Structure formats: structure tokens, C-alpha cells
Amino acid sequence: MSRNQTQWTQRPHLPSSHYVDPAIYFDEEIFKEEREKIFSKVWQLAIHESEIPNPNDYRTYQHPAGRELVIVRGEDMKIRSFYNICPHRGNLIAYEPSGNAKRLVCIFHQWAFDTKGDCIDIPRGKEGYQDRLCEDDVGLKEVRTEVAYGGFVWVNVDDNCGPLSDHIGHALDYMLPELESEPLDVFWYYQARLKTNFKLIHDTNSEFYHDYLHYHNRITGMMKPDSGYFQRKYEAFPNGHASVGSMKVDYESYKGGGHSSLGWPELPPMGWKLVDLFPCITFNLRTSVLRIDSYIPVGPNELILEFRALGLKSDTPEIRAQREKDAATIWSPFGRNLHEDLLASSGQGIAMTADSDPMYVLHGREENQTIHDEIGMRHYLEEWSRRMGRSSSDPYARQGTAKSA
Amino acid sequence: MSTNRGSIEELIYDSCLVLDDNDYDGYMALCAPDFTYKLSAYSPEVKREMAWLDHGRSEIEELFKTLPKHNSDRNPLTRNAIVYKVRIDDDHKQADVVTRLQIFKTALNGGHTELFAVGKYLDTVSLKGEQPVLLNRHVKLDTRDLGWGYHVPF
């Protein structure tokens, strides 16, 4: 039965944790608050250490809190992160996304910094500043950095944050044997700029009911009684993280791409493990490839997705080529599944805007925490609500106003 | 056969026209029995060449057959190619061809056209038969951000 306006905007007859006010996906004020209360506070996966293997290698990183960072491996092999901004006149220091530089030199006035962030040269410093200012006064702003969980480089722009392990807790324990069996190596990095909200992307990674979207997943798992698909279980962890149990994917059922039996150390054959980390990171290990998603929200309805695919550092060229081929089947910009995921998440961004009069969004499936249960999204938004001081189903209640839509 | 640059250029342009029409049988008819297709892009961020499609003839035929079962962006593409170089090797009866490629996407809803991707075709063309056919196609993209992506090969 179709609905009239009153019925359309009515709250669902479900617990408030089981539906979402769509305003959290497009409200500008809420987005600004997310930057302040979430992205400026939590640990974020920035790069993998294999992207800067040598002394003096660097990578730039656009942090979701809005800071431009440069991540550098020092001559002591330690990885440090700094604001990518010259303390003199506020110019970018590193313009290119990667490089190798013993000294980070600002092109503007040639101020130079070493890989520990110390200023080591101010041209004609004494003449201009006399004794009023010297190199010691103008070092780079360092950002908390840790390398962990498979060699990933994590950053936190809050100087007073707790250690990374406090944030992750036990969420990655389930995948640690696979992450730490041997050194990893990034072989793909690419971005996708989309018009949608970052939480909608994370929602898609946090629920598998949408496997109806994927012909590949239906035919290789959902429709296979012995695959263990419907037995996969969610496990929720503190701080908004969740993992999904493994299954046995029957890749041979899919014609048109193929997937090898190459596998991954410690992962059961044809296995598939997934961990979603709050607020915008997913570890997705499928048979022979580890895919990492991380997002850089640039507005309430715009984000840059960063995709990485990783293999093992010990891969021969032949094995690496096979891993790439496996990844390409479903996960490249031409891959069967990723394109479908991004179409759907972008469609949500198009359909749900401040002016489109969207309804409450349902997160209400309960199936004993198995694969089509929507507990992953609910658990995520519980943490979101805690950090924001707003209910995801009634975000304006704090201010005493009605639902936005 | 007598081969001139014109017939090789026509092959390249035909390959664009049939793919623009999603005429996959027409595309395969332009390819040799041992045809290979690769699509890659170089990432300056991680300094790696990324192979996003890498198929032999039978695999790409299967891919074409399977695509209709998927949910895909149906906004059509227009491949604009300009053949820059043709180097004919008479001894091996083949030619290496470098083609500059621009791909536009036109929205089904409203008809707005936007530039989707730029890159090159690096082709090896077999000249052994009556007509030149594609032996190897390597699509080397400059564009790496393809938004939500696309299912049909370029």
C-alpha cells in the first residue's frame, strides 16, 4: 500500500536503534561535528609501510579531519608524520603524492626540514630574524603515528589520544594470523570520488543483505548450501568495530573472470574474512588478496574512497600477477562487485538529500547476528551516537527540534 | 594481403564503434584467435603498474557473456581515438599501433556528456589474414579515478 505524507515521515514501529534519521547523511552541521568529534579524535589508517620502504621515502595523506599530512621514513627507519605545511608562510611542503627526500624543502623560500621534522635551514635567517627566531622555533608539527596490524601506518591528529591498541581493541585479533604471517606489500592504490556520505559506504561494508546486488556473490556463496554463507556471524567489538565470520567461496561457479586457488597464509582455502573499523576503514581478505578501504569525507555528501590491494612481499612476479587477476575480477574499477557496491551507495547519496524528503532508513533486520542481520550498522551507529552526543535516529533531539526531513 | 596504414587505422576505429554499441560479438570478430586484452594504470602514489583487466580471448568472451547478469552503469560511452603511430613489421606480418584515447560518458537521463577517462591503446595487429585483426590490446589509462567504475572494458 502506498503512503501519504504523514505515513511517509512517521517513525517506524521498531526500536529507535533499528532506524536512522536520514539527516545524518546530508546535514552540513552534523558533518562539521563529525570532523571535530570523530575524525579529529580517532586513529586513521593512512598508508602501508611498503609504500615508503626506503630511508627518506615519503607519502602525502589527506587526513579526514582536514589536515594535509606528509608521512616520512627517517634514516633511522622510523616512520613519522607531520603537517604538510611550511611553518613560515603556510605553503605545502610536499606537492607530489610520493617521493624520496633527505631534506623536505619548501619551494617558496627554501626553508628545509629533516625527516625528524626539525628545521635545519632558514636561508639568511640570521640577517632577517637576528636573535628573535631560529630553526629550533619553527619545526614541523608532528602527528601521533604508529605502525601495526600488518605494517599499516596509523595516524591520530589528537596529541592527547590513547594508544592505537586502545582504539582497535580485539577487533583485528581474528585476522591477525593472516596480517602478520609475513610482510605485506601494496600493489594497488587508487581513489574514487563519489557524491555520497561516508557512512553509507561503511554501511555497505557492514551488511551482507546486499549480496542480492551481486550476481557474483549469489552464485558463489548465497545459493550454495554447503558454503557456510548463512552461518557467517557478526561479532561486535567496543568502539564501533565489527567482524564477519569466514565462509568457503565457490569461485568456480562464476564464469567470466575466474579466481585462482592461490590462497593466503593462515586463511582457510577459499576463505573470506572481513573486519570493519570505526569510523571508515575496512579490512577485507578474500582468498588471495587483502583489500583495504579507507575514506576521506570532504563534505556531507562527498568523499574520496581510497582502495588498496595487498599481496605478500615474497610474491614472485607470477604469483603477483595471479593476485592482481584475482583482485581484478571483483574489486578493480572494472570489477564485478565493487562497481555494484559503489553504484548502490552513490544512488543513496543521490536519493537522500535535504530537499528530497527521504524517509527513516531501516537498519532493522535481526537474524541471530548471522550474515543478513543488520547488527553491523546498528553497532556502528551506537558508537557514532555516543561520540556525537546525538541519537542517529533522532539527531536533533538534543536541540529540541523535530526531525529534519 | 596488402596492408596499408588506412586499413589498420580502420580496425582501431571499428573496435571503438562496436564497443560503443556494446556489440561484443562484433568486437570479438575484430580479434585474432589468440587475442589478449589488458587494461592497466600506473599509480604514482605507490609507484606500481596496476593491471585492472588481464584476459585471454576465451576469458574476455566469458566476461562479455556474464555482464548482462550484473547491475551496471548503463550510461553509454563514446570512445574517441586518434591513431598516432603505426609501425609495420613485414617480416612478422604484424604492426604495433599507438592510439590516443578519450572516453566520454553521456547520461541516459538528460544527455549531459562528460569526459570519463583518457589513455592510450597500445595494440599489436596481426596482418596474416585477409583483414588486419587485433592480436594484443593494452589499454593504458592515465585516468585512475573512475568514480563508481564501469563494467564494460574500454
Task: Give per-residue pLDDT as tens, B94-118.
Answer: 999 999 999 999 999 999 999 999 9
User: Residues 6 or more apart from B92 whose CB is under 8 A from it?
Assistant: none
| Among A316, A339, A57, A341, CA closest to A187 | A316
* Buried residues in A200-222 as b, exposed as e (16+ CB within 10 A): bbbbbbbbbebbebbbbbbbbbb
Cβ separation B67–A256 shorter than 8 A:
yes
Whole-number pLDDT of residue A152: 98
% of chain A at pLDDT higher than 70: 97
**pLDDT for A293-312, tens place per residue?**
999 999 999 999 999 999 99
Average pLDDT score over residue span A192-199: 98
Whether residues A347 and A247 share a domain: the answer is: yes
Q: How far is CA B1 from the centre of its chain?
A: 24
Whether residues A202 and A153 share a domain: the answer is: no
Whether residues A128 and A188 share a domain: the answer is: no
Whether residues A188 and A105 share a domain: the answer is: no
Q: Cell for A341? A: 557496491
Cβ A314 vs Cβ A336: under 8 Å = no
Cα separation, A400 vs A84, whole angstroms: 41
Q: A229 in a domain, yes or no?
A: yes
| Among B24, B22, B39, B149, CA closest to B76 | B22
Whether residues A284 and A380 share a domain: the answer is: yes
Domain with A69 in it: 44-160
Whether residues A141 and A206 share a domain: the answer is: no
Q: Which residue of chain A is at minimal alpha-carbon distance from B65?
A: A256
Cβ A68 vs Cβ A60: under 8 Å = yes
| Helix ranges, chain B (H) | 5-20, 24-28, 57-66
Whole-number pLDDT of residue A142: 98
Average pLDDT score over residue span A357-378: 96
Cβ separation B147–A194 shorter than 8 A:
yes
Question: Could you tell me if B50 lies within 8 Å of chain A, comparing CB atoms?
Answer: yes
Specify the CATH number for the domain of residue A76: 2.102.10.10
pLDDT at A356 over 90: yes
Cβ separation A257–B66 shorter than 8 A:
yes
Question: Could you tell me if A298 lies within 8 Å of chain B, comparing CB atoms?
Answer: no
Q: Single out the residue in A91, A125, A160 at which a domain terminates.
A: A160
Whether residues A156 and A186 share a domain: the answer is: no
pLDDT at A285 over 90: yes
Whole-number pLDDT of residue A398: 53
Cα separation, A91 vs A94, whole angstroms: 9
Whether residues A231 and A347 share a domain: the answer is: yes
Cα separation, A282 vs A309, whole angstroms: 12
Question: Could you tell me if B13 lies within 8 Å of chain A, comparing CB atoms?
Answer: no
Q: A125 in a domain, yes or no?
A: yes
Whole-number pLDDT of residue B3: 66
Whether residues A148 and A193 share a domain: the answer is: no
Q: A333 in a domain, yes or no?
A: yes
% of chain B at pLDDT higher than 70: 98
Specify the CATH number for the domain of residue A206: 3.90.380.10
Q: So what's the architecture of B5-141 in CATH? A: Roll (3.10)
Whole-number pLDDT of residue A253: 86
Residue numbers in A near B146 (CB within 8 A):
192, 333
Whole-number pLDDT of residue B4: 87
Cα separation, A241 vs A149, whole angstroms: 15
pLDDT at A400 over 90: no
Burial of A159 (0-12, 13-18, 19+ CB in 10 A): exposed
pLDDT at A404 over 70: no
> Mean of the per-residue pLDDT values for chain A?
95
Q: Cell for A31? A: 558533518
**pLDDT for A56-82, tens place per residue?**
999 999 999 999 999 999 999 999 999
Cβ A276 vs Cβ A241: under 8 Å = yes
Q: Give residue B11's pLDDT band: very low, low, confident or very high (50, 70, 90).
A: very high
Residues 80-119 of A with CB under 8 A from B: 96-98
Q: Is residue A120 classed as helix, strand or coil in its secondary structure?
A: strand
Whether residues A247 and A290 share a domain: the answer is: yes
Best mutation target, A340, A341, A346, to test chain B (most B CBs within 10 A): A340
Q: Are strands B31-43 and A79-83 parallel, antiparallel or unpaired?
A: unpaired
Q: H or E element: which one contains B102?
A: strand B94-106
Q: Are strands A57-62 and A19-20 parallel, antiparallel or unpaired?
A: unpaired
pLDDT at A127 over 60: yes
Whole-number pLDDT of residue B23: 97
Chain B nearest CA to A220, separation (Å):
14
Name the domain count of chain A.
2
Best mutation target, A54, A71, A185, A190, to test chain B (most B CBs within 10 A): A190
pLDDT at B1 over 90: no
Average pLDDT score over residue span A215-221: 90
Residues 315-344 of A with CB under 8 A from B: 321, 324-325, 328, 332-336, 338-340, 342-344
Q: Give residue B2's pLDDT band: very low, low, confident or very high (50, 70, 90).
A: low
Whether residues A48 and A108 share a domain: the answer is: yes
Whether residues A270 and A308 share a domain: the answer is: yes
**pLDDT for B58-92, tens place per residue?**
999 999 999 999 999 999 999 999 999 999 999 99
**pLDDT for A174-191, tens place per residue?**
999 999 999 999 999 999
φ/ψ of A344, rounded to 5, equals -70, -45
Chain B nearest CA to A387, separation (Å):
30
Whole-number pLDDT of residue A335: 95
Say which range, A252-261, A365-374, B27-36, has the weakest mean pLDDT: A252-261
pLDDT at A369 over 70: yes
Q: Which residue has the higher pLDDT, A88 or A223?
A: A88
pLDDT at A402 over 50: no
